[in-house]
Amino acid sequence: MMVDLLQFLLLTLSIQPIWTFATDINILRINGGRNISIEDASFMVAMVILTTDNKITFCGGSIIHEKFILTAGHCFRKSVNPLNAGGAVGIDDLDNEDGIDFTVDKKFCTRISTTVPYYDDICLLKLNKSLEFGSQVAPIKLPEKDLKLEEGTLVNVTGWDKTENSSNVVINLQQGTESIMSDESCLKNYPNITTNSQFCAGSNGQGYCSRYSGGPVISNGVQVGVVTSSDGCSDEYGAVYTKVSSYLDWIHEAINENLP
């Protein structure tokens, strides 16, 4: 289904189809991940984006409203037209034809930095049609504005694509568990981040490596972060995430102003 959607988008723009994560798509690596079913992560979104240089970006995202998806802003740095993005929900297998396809009507992205790790790296997508919720498609809860991410708190990171030892795309949905790192450790490894709106996590030989974009970071059924960048597959350095609680006012304002 995702292949059909990608080919549709490419043919719409008269571009030759390219379906190779190894060369043209931003790579997600879930180190030490485990397969999970979509019922355990019904908020997950799989998305493909055509860039202005005719390449393909694969991003994750999360359902936060029947008409809105939360993802990373840098997924769209090279895609001016939101209609060049689409994807599927309700699937844990990218070959599954029973999921629900979607296309994007509007995008609302913050003005992110140009260097990695990206700052202000968050984006809200308005869909052309409302999603119908059920056991395989459901919104994730957002955090309270005053949420404190304590060092050592366990979080789950979820998505598709390559694992540490894989040379090909991983078709099944994967999840890894990390723990929140202290602000001091985060700043030591990534001195350019802002801890008011970013945090680091990594441990247990699990988690995201390389540059996976837009995937959710979940703690106790609440989305606390969005994947922005990391440094290889190193537990020592961990990965940098956008802190969702810092953008709640922006998220709610964008949703309220763009509903009928």
179 has catalytic annotation: no
65 has catalytic annotation: no
Residue 117: is the preceding peptide bond cis (ω within 30°)?
yes
Check 120, 121, 161, 231 and give the catalytic one.
121
How many beta carbons lie within 10 A of that of residue 135, not counting itself?
9
Contacts 24+ apart (CB under 8 A), 114-120: 115/192, 116/211, 116/229, 117/190, 117/192, 117/193, 117/198, 117/228, 117/229, 117/230, 117/240, 118/72, 118/73, 118/74, 118/228, 118/229, 119/192, 119/193, 119/194, 119/197, 119/198, 120/73, 120/197, 120/242
Length in residues, the chain: 260
185 has catalytic annotation: no
Check 42, 62, 210, 213 and give the catalytic one.
213
Check 62, 65, 74, 161 and give the catalytic one.
74
- The catalytic residue positions are 74, 121, 213
